[in-house]
Amino acid sequence: MRDAAALTSEESVLEAERWVSGWLGQAWLAAGIGERDPERQLCLEVIGRASSRPSPHGLSTVAALLRVAAPSEVSMLAGTVEILSAGQPLPSWSGAAAFEPVASWRAVDVWDSEHVLFIEYGGPVPHTLMVQIMLAGGVLVEKLALLEPGAAASWEQLRESHEVPMPIVECPVADTLAELAHALRSTDMTLPRQDDEDFVDLRALAWSRCRPYLPDWPDRPPLGETDRDQLLDDFAADATDLDGTVVRSLGEMFLDYGEGYMTSGPLCWSPAWVELFLTDWLPRKGVLDAEQRVALPDVLRRWIRFALRRRGVDLEWITPVVEAVDSCLPAFTEAFDDTAAWGPAKQIAAELASRGVDLSDKETVEDAVRGLNAERLARYLTGE
């Protein structure tokens, strides 16, 4: 409330929104994992203080909160503003209309692992909301910024020639705001919380702009069996100099990983996705026999070339992804051999493999798992 004294002389409604968004962001960032409504709690505390000790800066704080707080807080904030404004003037910016988007653009890198959104607003203070979203490892808003109007037009000029290409295209405003809302939702669910200073300061403001466009959780349909088989057949046809059984089994693993984890689709490999696959997912969840392990580096390089050519990526930008395999192999070797890091499913699969169970035979695996569970239960009951 002491900091709010500056609001009484502030003339820019955008600066008022930015100011209160920062305080809401700090409340969100500082909240414990079990706290469900830290921003609501802040609103309640501000209302209580402003009502018990009426002042111009107290009224300004509540009025600023009203512009960016969640819809669930609007009624009590609006009621408080009405009561407090009966005896003192509202700040000059409080009656400004909500900012309306007038255009938007989206830049996507060639690997579809990074999106940059530009949403331009008119109104009393024209400006552009810029959003950087990273998709490798999960959807995460990396940066938020308020820029001058027309910032999107300078995007291509600001990119260096050696940087990964990120062509920019104009998009429907509703689609861009829906993507922003989905990204904010995913970021809010990620722990530890995103603590970038600009993100924290502008998070509530960004939510206030895109919340009405929040989509249902996207549900990307899996590849049909025919398309999947054709993709694996085409890949195997490109690697006839290697053992076909090993190539296809590894190809199925890469495809399963891509469908299950890669945000933009199973063929959207990037250096970051290679690192996550080799140093995190495969050591924790993957099971490789001796032949697969020996062939893995070469087959993965071939799969990356195959997948990115399918997506039309230029060779210049396929090379860094392939080179990431060699960069990550030492870490993969160390992590893969660390049995303490194995997940439960991998531990069971390794146990079955050591008993000679054919892991590609679903019925045999199910029978073996039932037998393994019975053994473990018997040992538990007998205290062995």
Q: Tell me, what's the pLDDT at 300?
A: 98
Q: What is the pLDDT of residue 220?
A: 78
Buried b (16+ CB within 10 A) or exposed e, 276-294: bbbbbbbbbbbbbeeebee
> What residue ranges do the domains of the chain occupy?
3-84, 101-213, 225-341, 344-382
Burial of 110 (0-12, 13-18, 19+ CB in 10 A): buried
- 345 pLDDT more than 90: no
Give me 242's structure tokens.
């290697």
Return d(Cα 157, Cα 169) in angstroms, integer: 14
How many CA within 13 A on the CB side of residue 364?
10
**With 60 as the cut, is the pLDDT of residue 7 above it?**
yes
What pLDDT is recorded for position 218?
78
List of residues 6+ apart from 117 with CB closer than 8 A:
104, 105, 106, 107, 129, 130, 131, 133, 176, 179, 180
Pairing of strands 127-134, 140-147: antiparallel
Return d(Cα 185, Cα 206) in angstroms, integer.
Answer: 11
Q: Which one is predicted more confidently, 349 or 183?
A: 183
> Which residue blocks in the chain are alpha helix, DSSP H?
13-30, 38-52, 56-68, 74-84, 155-158, 173-188, 197-210, 225-237, 244-261, 271-276, 282-285, 290-310, 315-336, 344-354, 362-382
What pLDDT is recorded for position 372? 59
Report yes or no: 77 and 46 within 8 Å, Cβ to Cβ.
no
What mean pLDDT do residues 228-252 have? 94
Asked whether residue 377 carries a pLDDT value surpassing 60, the answer given is: no
Highest mean pLDDT among 206-215, 219-228, 276-285: 206-215
**In this predicted structure, what is the pLDDT of residue 164?**
94
The average confidence (pLDDT) of the chain is 90
Contacts of 331 (CB under 8 A, 6+ apart): 278, 279
CA distances to 194, 224, 350 from 198, rounded to whole Å, are 10, 42, 46
pLDDT of residue 383: 63
Please, which pLDDT band fits residue 1 given cuts at 50, 70 and 90? Answer: confident
Average pLDDT over every residue of 99-111? 97
Which pLDDT value is given to residue 375?
Answer: 62
Residue type, position 288, single letter: L
What pLDDT shows up at residue 363? 72
Q: CA-CA distance, 108 to 183, in Å (whole number)?
A: 15
Q: What is the mean pLDDT of residues 19-33?
A: 95
- pLDDT score, position 6: 81
Query: How many Å is the Cα radius of gyration of the chain?
Result: 27
How large a percentage of the chain has pLDDT more than 90?
Answer: 74
pLDDT category at 82 given cuts 50, 70, 90 is very high
Class of residue 159 by CB neighbours under 10 A (exposed 0-12, middle 13-18, buried 19+)? middle
Average pLDDT (174-185) is 98
Per-residue pLDDT for 275 more than 60?
yes
121 vs 282: CA distance, rounded Å: 45
Identify the band that residue 337 occupies on the pLDDT scale cut at 50, 70 and 90.
confident
